[in-house]
């Protein structure tokens, strides 16, 4: 800070305090500030129509008039003016909290006062405590403060950490065209201590007041509860009342105001680390993409690589502490280890091709023993490290072929590859004694299967769009053949299934005519419906229903689990696969955590729709935005996501993660017909913390899960839609072995369109 003395013959001199960092920011970014035609700043009571500041203005306009935030304790200016008569009255504005510090003496020299009379003590650089206690201390002689402000955010200073961060320019005519600055201010901000706070939903905005000895929320009125199991909150410590998401970077600031009016603040950063694990892998995450019309070279959308990288690096991004990503190699059913840039880690594969007979055993042995990377020994098993598996079912167009069976066929193949990997990591078939096979079947005639390190670890299946069907079918197979998968016993296992905008139903509007295809009917893939099977320990679902299913749109809707859209229920005769198991008339298999992100007008829940989930752009915008919403809970620092839906070129226009109130001015998201849309993330879960991925094992919120009171669907339930398409069991011995999986009674144009995409059959 910069301090200056102002002597007075009357003996009432003052000390002025200025924020040097704000000065630098103003000089570096003059265009972010405004003055009017008479050089008056925005805080002047006489301010009129503004214009952007230029470098030339610094030669004649006081810098603290240009940026009032510079005046920490120096708010002294024109109170009244008569410009024609050149008469001005100067003074301290009424009600200001930034007045100069009165000394009652005639100052001609200023002794150096400590500029760092507030020192941060905690949390440290990393913490495993997801409700950390923030601690600080005051320098001797400065303990008597009248106010303390604490701010916590995923955003840094200048980006939304502080209430006075100017993250939008209200004078920008391109921002909410037709709105006045007052209207923009009301929509995009909330007042805080005289500032327009464009991020009022930051993780924490709290104020301690000396006169009550209590902490208050953003409004300065609502008291914040004292912690139950931590020391009481005081003027020098505060315990966060809600859990943070693990594996994330956070920023915080403490600002203190002394009784004399002196103001100081200090900034800090920390990272939350995930909880410890005794499992072979701390978690195995399986990410499955959906409908991908024109895939990239790998067949896996960039957005899934983004998410995988974040999950793999929850404990750090160096080889020593980061986890491992492997992508599916469909021709061989093997898995290829890759680094954060997507390159194969040949140290683990020995440089072998996936088609070589000893590829998988070499990979498994190196995972068990560890390898040397860049001169350092790197181990993966039993190191509290996660494994992320990226599946692929797009390169042969199977994710878009408008016919039945391809999602289940993909699931069948991927499940087999997972079993193969688990066997390589210590799994066995049969019972052994002294390494000799004793028997293959138990007393009931069932094949004996012993899990390896893959299935002995917590499992988390995350699927988007039609990828939710693939994951659901994999999970059913796991429950059928490996009911204990997700742990070493039924007591400690965890198998989470996350569905993002599940699309597995009839939507008439998706009977499309696409360029280069004669007629393409994507309205119904006759999918086996996504279920919450009875081997799932936690199911969470995030979906939207913005598109009119009978209108003119190419936007798929999602659905609530356990329930089906009316268009599906209207089918006559009712397909066998829609006879969901019920208890007392209530369908089984409802999600434990379910959020309707938004819906169309006239539908239940419209009033709770969130920004970006109220209007249909007719090309899948709200569908992909559901993925962006969840991705923003995996990586709280994520600004944009490359979804590549419905084709790879879509990533050229990545979607914004809208975790700050000021994003309501985004023209792509704002809806002129629904300005009252809710925030992207719930106010109580500001900036995406404490929701979505937080509820996973790695996210740290497993113990905060709440569970549905409805039961699960038995894995023995055959969810194959049509009875004529079913195999010998709910999970068939050989999927589509009788070649009965195909859509009947298609028109000639639809048949030609289907074959133009692919002539393949599933299974």
Domain ranges of the chain: 2-102, 118-272, 285-601+721-748
Is 689 strand, coil or helix? coil
Per the model's pLDDT, the better-predicted residue between 426 and 728 turns out to be 426
Tell me how far apart the alpha carbons of residues 333 and 330 are, in angstroms, rounded to a whole number.
5
With cut-offs at 50, 70 and 90, classify the pLDDT of residue 741: low
Return the DSSP state at 31: G
Tell me how far apart the alpha carbons of residues 163 and 194 are, in angstroms, rounded to a whole number.
10
Q: Count CB-CB contacts under 10 A for residue 760.
A: 14
Place of tokens 């920008």: 172
Closest CA to 415 of 732, 738, 743: 732
Residue 98 contacts residue 74 (beta carbons within 8 Å): yes
With cut-offs at 50, 70 and 90, classify the pLDDT of residue 751: low
Tell me how far apart the alpha carbons of residues 456 and 478 are, in angstroms, rounded to a whole number.
12
DSSP lists the bridge partners of residue 388 as 285, 325
Q: What is the pLDDT of residues 708-728, one digit of tens each?
A: 999 999 999 999 888 877 888
Q: Is the dihedral of CA 196, 198, 201, 203 positive or negative?
A: negative
Residue 518 pLDDT more than 80?
A: no
Residue 559 contacts residue 568 (beta carbons within 8 Å): no
Residue 13 pLDDT more than 70?
A: no
Q: Count CB-CB contacts under 10 A for residue 716.
A: 14
Structure confidence at residue 85 (pLDDT): 74
Mean pLDDT across the stretch 616-622?
91
High-pLDDT (> 70) share of the chain, % = 89
Q: How far apart, in Å, are the Cα atoms of 280 and each of 416, 459, 483? A: 20, 12, 18
Is 474 strand, coil or helix? helix
- Look up residue 321 and give its two tokens: 């502490």
- Look up residue 92 and give its two tokens: 């301290």
- Look up residue 543 and give its two tokens: 């979906």
Closest CA to 114 of 269, 266, 11, 12: 266
Closest CA to 591 of 506, 504, 498, 680: 498
| Max Cα-Cα span within the chain | 108
Per the model's pLDDT, the better-predicted residue between 727 and 392 turns out to be 392
Q: Label residue 350 left, alpha or beta by phi (over 0 means left) and psi (-120 to 50 means alpha).
A: left
Residue 289 dihedral angles phi and psi, to the nearest 5°: -80, 175
- Look up residue 665 and give its two tokens: 């001015």
Is 503 strand, coil or helix? coil
Mean pLDDT across the stretch 497-517?
86
Burial 469-494 (b: 16+ CB within 10 A, else e): bbbbbbbbbbbbebebbbbeeeeebb
Mean pLDDT across the stretch 391-413?
89
Residue 565 contacts residue 556 (beta carbons within 8 Å): no
Mean pLDDT across the stretch 136-149?
91
With cut-offs at 50, 70 and 90, classify the pLDDT of residue 752: low
Place of tokens 């495993």: 128
Q: What is the pLDDT of residues 650-707, one digit of tens each?
A: 555 667 777 676 666 666 666 666 666 788 887 667 789 999 999 999 999 999 999 9
Residue 44 contacts residue 145 (beta carbons within 8 Å): no
Q: What is the pLDDT of residues 188-217, one digit of tens each?
A: 889 999 899 999 999 999 999 999 999 999
Where does 391-450 show beta strands of DSSP type E?
428-429, 431-433, 436-439, 449-450
118-272: CATH homologous superfamily? Immunoglobulins (2.60.40.10)
Closest CA to 663 of 688, 692, 635: 688
Q: Is the dihedral of CA 271, 274, 278, 281 positive or negative?
A: negative
Residue 199 dihedral angles phi and psi, to the nearest 5°: -135, 60
């Amino acid at each position: 800070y910069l301090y200056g003395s102002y002597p007075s013959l009357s003996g009432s001199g003052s000390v002025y305090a200025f924020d040097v960092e704000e000065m630098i920011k103003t000089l570096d970014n003059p265009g972010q500030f405004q003055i009017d035609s008479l050089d008056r700043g925005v805080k002047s009571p006489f301010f009129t129509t503004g214009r952007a500041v230029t470098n030339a203005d610094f030669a004649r306009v006081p810098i603290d008039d240009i940026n009032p935030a510079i005046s920490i304790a120096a708010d002294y200016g024109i109170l009244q003016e008569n410009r024609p008569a050149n008469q001005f009255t100067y003074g301290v504005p009424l009600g200001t909290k930034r007045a100069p510090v009165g000394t009652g003496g005639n100052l001609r020299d200023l002794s150096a006062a400590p500029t760092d009379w507030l020192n941060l003590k905690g949390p440290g650089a990393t913490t495993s405590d997801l409700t950390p206690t923030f601690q600080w201390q005051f320098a001797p002689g400065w303990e008597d403060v009248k106010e303390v402000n604490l701010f916590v955010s995923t955003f840094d200073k200048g980006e939304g950490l502080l209430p006075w961060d100017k993250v939008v320019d209200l004078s920008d005519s391109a921002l909410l065209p037709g709105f006045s600055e007052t209207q923009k201010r009301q929509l995009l901000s909330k007042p805080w201590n005289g500032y327009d706070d464009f991020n009022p939903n930051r993780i924490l905005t709290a104020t301690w007041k000396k006169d009550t000895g209590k902490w208050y929320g953003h409004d300065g009125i609502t008291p914040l509860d004292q912690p139950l199991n931590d020391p009481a909150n005081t003027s020098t410590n505060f315990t966060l009342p809600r859990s943070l998401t693990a594996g994330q970077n956070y920023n915080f600031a403490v600002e203190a105001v002394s009784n004399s009016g002196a103001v100081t603040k200090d900034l800090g950063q920390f990272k939350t680390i995930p909880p410890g694990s005794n499992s072979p892998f701390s978690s195995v995450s399986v990410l499955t993409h959906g409908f991908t019309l024109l895939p990239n070279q790998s067949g896996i959308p960039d957005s899934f690589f983004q998410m995988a990288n974040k999950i793999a690096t929850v404990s750090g991004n160096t080889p020593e502490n980061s986890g491992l990503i492997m992508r599916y190699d469909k021709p061989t059913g093997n898995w290829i280890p890759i680094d954060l840039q997507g390159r194969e880690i040949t140290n683990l594969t020995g440089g072998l091709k996936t088609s070589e007979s000893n590829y998988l055993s070499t990979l498994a042995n190196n995972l068990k023993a560890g390898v040397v990377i860049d001169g350092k020994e790197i181990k993966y098993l039993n190191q509290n490290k996660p494994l992320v598996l990226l599946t692929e079912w797009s390169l042969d167009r199977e994710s878009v072929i408008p016919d039945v069976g391809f999602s289940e066929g993909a699931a069948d193949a991927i499940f087999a590859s997972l079993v193969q990997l688990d066997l390589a990591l210590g799994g066995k078939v049969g019972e052994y004694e002294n390494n000799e096979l004793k028997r293959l079947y138990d007393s009931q005639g069932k094949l004996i299967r012993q899990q390896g390190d893959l299935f002995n670890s917590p499992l988390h299946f995350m699927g988007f769009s039609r990828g939710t069907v693939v994951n659901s079918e994999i999970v059913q197979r796991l429950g059928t053949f490996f009911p204990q998968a997700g742990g070493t016993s039924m007591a400690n296992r965890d198998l989470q299934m996350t569905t993002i905008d599940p699309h597995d139903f009839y939507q008439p509007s998706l009977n499309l005519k696409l360029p280069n295809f004669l007629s393409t009917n994507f309205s119904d893939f006759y999918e086996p419906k996504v279920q919450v099977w009875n081997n799932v320990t936690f199911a969470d679902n995030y979906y939207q229903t913005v598109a009119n299913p009978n209108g003119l749109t190419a936007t798929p809707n999602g659905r609530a689990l356990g329930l089906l859209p009316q268009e599906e229920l209207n089918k006559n005769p009712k397909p066998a696969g829609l006879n969901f198991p019920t208890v007392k008339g209530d369908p089984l298999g409802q999600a434990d955590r379910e959020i309707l992100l938004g819906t169309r007008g006239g539908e239940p829940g419209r009033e709770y729709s969130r920004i970006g989930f109220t209007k249909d752009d007719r090309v899948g915008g709200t569908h992909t935005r559901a993925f962006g919403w969840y991705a923003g809970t995996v990586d709280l620092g994520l600004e944009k996501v490359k979804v590549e839906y419905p084709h790879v070129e879509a990533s050229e226009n990545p979607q914004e993660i809208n975790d700050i109130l000021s994003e309501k001015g985004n023209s792509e998201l704002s809806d002129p017909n629904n300005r009252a849309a809710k925030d992207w993330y719930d106010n109580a879960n500001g900036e995406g913390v404490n929701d979505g991925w937080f509820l996973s094992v790695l996210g740290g919120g497993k113990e905060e899960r709440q569970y549905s009171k409805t039961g699960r669907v038995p894995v023995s339930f055959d969810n194959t839609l049509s009875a004529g398409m079913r195999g010998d069991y709910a999970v068939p011995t050989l999927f589509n072995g009788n070649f009965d999986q195909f859509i009947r009674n298609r028109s000639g144009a639809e048949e030609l369109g289907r074959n133009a995409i692919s002539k393949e059959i599933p299974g």
